Amino acid sequence: MNTFTKANIEADPTVPIIRITRDFAATPAQLMRAHTDPDLFAQWIGPTNVDTRIDYWDARSGGSWRFINFRDDGEFAFHGCFHEIGPNRIVQTFTYEGMPEGVSLETLAFEPIDETRTRLIAQSLVDSFEGRDAWLSSGMEIGVNEGYAALDGLLLRSAV
Amino acid sequence: MDDQLSRAFAALADPTRRDIVARLSVGDATVNELAEPFDVTVQNISKHIRVLEDAGLVSRTRDAQRRPVHFEAKVFDLMTKWIERYQREAEARYTRLDAVLDQLQQSEETNTKSEIRKSS
C-alpha cells in the first residue's frame, strides 16, 4: 500500500478536479475535530505567519462558514456552506471572495489506515474552466489546473 | 501567472501532447518519428506540435532538412516550480494540522488519565 507522509497532489485530466492525499498520525474523529472546531481550524488553515479569524462557523449539515486571512498585503476572505458533515466525511462549498463568482465543491474523506493513522483525501471540483483558470492565474493556493495532474503523470513516467 | 504558463498548462491537458512531450524529453525527434506510436495521421501530430510550439514547450529548427522537434526545458521548469509551490503550500498547511492533532492527542490522553484518577 502507498503511504502519503507528504501531501500528494493529483488531478483528473478530463474534469477540473484536484485531489490531495495525506496520511496523519491521528484517528478519523480527531481529523474531523480539527476540521470542524473553529478554534482548531484557525490554527492550521491559513498560510504560515498569517492570522486567520473565523467570522462565522456553523459546522453542521446545512450550516455555513466564513473566515478571513490577514496578510501584509490585505485581507482575504473565504466562505461556503457545510453541505454534509460526517461520519468520516465533509462535503462543503468554497469561495474566495476576491472571485465571488467562483465556487468549488470540496469533499474530504477521513479513511482509517490502522489504529493510529488516518488518510485524508481532499478533493476539489471547480465549477467551470473559466473559474479554474481565474483561480490558477490568481496564484492563490486554491488554484486548480488539470495541467499539473498531467505534468505529475508525465514526471512520473519520465522517472521510470 | 503569465500567459505562457497558462498556455503550457492548457497544452499539456491533452494526453497525446503529454506523450509527445514525454518522448521529446528523452531526445529530439522528427514529426514522422513522433507520429509512429500513434494511430493518427502525421497531420494530426503536426497540429499537436503547433500547440506545444505556441506554448513554448517545444521548438523546431527552421533551416534543417529533418526539422527535428526539440523539447524546451525552460517553460517546463517554470511549470514544475509552480506545482512545487502548490505542493509546498499544501504540505505546510498539513504540517500545521499535524501539530494541532498532536495537541489534541495529548489533551485527550491527559483527560483520560484524570478520568481514571477520578474513578479510582
Q: Please report the pLDDT score of residue A81 as a whole number.
A: 98
Q: Please report the pLDDT score of residue B102 as a whole number.
A: 93
Q: Give B92's contacts in chain A (Cβ within 8 Å).
A: 47-48
Strands A89-96, A104-112: pairing kind: antiparallel
C-alpha cell at B79: 511549470
B84 touches chain A (CB under 8 A): no
**B64: pLDDT confidence band, cut at 50, 70 and 90?**
low
Q: Which domains does chain B have, with CATH numbers?
A: 3-74 (1.10.10.10)
> Between residues 87 and 116 of chain B, which touch chain A (CB distance below 8 Å)?
87, 89-94, 96-102, 104-105, 108
Backbone angles phi, psi at B56, to 5 degrees: 80, 10
Q: Give B99's contacts in chain A (Cβ within 8 Å).
A: 43-44
A141 touches chain B (CB under 8 A): yes
pLDDT value at B85 more than 80 = no
Q: What is the ipTM of this complex?
A: 0.70
CA pair distance B20, B51, nearest whole angstrom? 12
CA pair distance A112, A109, nearest whole angstrom? 10
pLDDT value at B52 more than 90 = yes
3-state secondary structure string, A103-136? CEEEEEEEEECCCCCEEEEEEEEECCHHHHHHHH
Which of B5-14, B24-33, B46-55 is predicted with the least confidence, judged by mean pLDDT?
B5-14
* A104-112: long-range pairs with CB below 8 Å, 24+: A104/A131, A104/A142, A104/A144, A106/A80, A108/A35, A110/A28, A110/A31, A110/A32, A111/A28, A112/A27, A112/A28, A112/A88
Q: Which domains does chain A have, with CATH numbers?
A: 18-128 (3.30.530.20)
Of B10, B90, B96, the CB nearest to A147: B10
**Across the interface, do B99 and A157 touch by the CB < 8 Å criterion?**
no
The residue of chain A with its CA nearest to that of B10 is: A147
Q: Please report the pLDDT score of residue B18 as a whole number.
A: 82
Q: Please report the pLDDT score of residue A19 as a whole number.
A: 80
List, for chain A, all residue ranges whose pLDDT scores fall below the cut of 70: 1, 10-14, 48, 127-160
Q: pLDDT tens, B18-46?
A: 888 888 877 889 999 999 988 889 999 99
The predicted model scores a pTM of 0.65
